[in-house]
Structure 1
Amino acid sequence: MQALKRRLLLTLLAAQIILALIISGVVALSINLNQAEPGGNQTVTIRWDRALIALGASIAVGLACLGAGIAISASGTAAISAAAEKPETFFRSFLVVALAEALAIYGLIIGILLWLKL
C-alpha cells in the first residue's frame, strides 16, 4: 500500500512538472517573446534569452511552492496534533508553519525578480 501511495505521488509530481513546463512555454510565446529583428531582415526569431528567463522564473516559483506544500503538510499536521495535546505550544507550531509558507514567498520573489529582467 505504501509503494502504491509513493508511485501515485511521483506520478502526480511528474504530471505537475510537465504541465508547468507546457504552461510556461505557452505563456512565454504568447507574451511577445517572438520579435522581429530590427533591420532589413523581417524573419521572426525566438528570443531565447527571454524564453529561458521566463522558464527559470516559472521553475523557481513552481519548485518553491512544491517545497512549501511538502513542508506545510509535514509540519502542519504535527503542529495541529501538538496544539491539540498542549494548547500552549500553539504559537511555536504556528511559527514553524509560517516559516514553511515563507518558502513559497521566497520563490515568488525570485520569480518576480527574474520576470522583471525581461
Structure 2
Amino acid sequence: MKLRYITYLLLLSAVALAQSTNPGNQYIGAGIAMGLAGLGAGIGVGIAGAAAISALVERPQERVWYLIFVALAEAIAIYGLLVSFILAAK
C-alpha cells in the first residue's frame, strides 16, 4: 500500500517538473517518466516471461502468442521513451 502512494507521488512530481518554467526541470521530469516506464516494463516482462515459459512447457505449439504478450509488456518502455522525448523537447 505504501509503494502505491510513493508511485503516485513520483508520477505527480514528474508532471509538475515537466510543466515547470525553469529551464532544466523538464529534463528531470523526462528522466522520471522514462525511469518509471522502464521499471513498469521490467516488472511486466518478468511476470509475462515467467508465465510464458511455464505455459511453453505444456503447449509448445502456442509460442507465438507467448511472444506477443511479452512484446506488449515491453511496449510500455517504448511509450515512456516517446513521452520523455516529448517532455525534453519542450
User: 1:103 offset after TM fit, Å?
Assistant: 0.3
Q: Distance between the aligned counterparts of 1:69 and 1:100, measured in 2? A: 8
Q: Tell me if 1:116 matches 2:54.
A: no
- TM-score, with normalisation over the residues of structure 2? 0.73
Q: Distance between the aligned counterparts of 2:88 and 2:53, measured in 1? A: 37
Q: Distance between the aligned counterparts of 1:83 and 1:66, measured in 2? A: 25
CA RMSD of aligned residues (A): 1.9
Match 2:48 to one of 75, 81, 85: 75
**Per the alignment, in what secondary structure is the counterpart of residue 24 of structure 2?**
helix
Identity, in percent, stands at 47
User: 1:52 offset after TM fit, Å?
Assistant: 1.5
Tell which has more relative contact order, 1 or 2 (C-alpha 8 A, sep 6+). Answer: 2
Tell me the matched-pair count. 73
Q: Tell me if 1:96 matches 2:53.
A: no
User: 1:50 offset after TM fit, Å?
Assistant: 2.4
- List, as ranges, runs of 4+ consecutive aligned residues in structure 1 with deviation greater than 2 Å: none
Name the structure where strand makes up a greater proportion of residues: 1
- Structure 2, unmatched stretches of 5+, are 4-9, 11-20
Cα shift readout 1:27-52 (whole Å, capped 9, x = no counterpart): xxxxxxxxxxxxxxxxxxxxx62222
What is residue 4 of structure 1 aligned with on the other side?
none
- Structure 1, unmatched stretches of 5+, are 1-9, 11-16, 18-47
- From the CA coordinates, give the structure whose radius of gyration is larger: 1
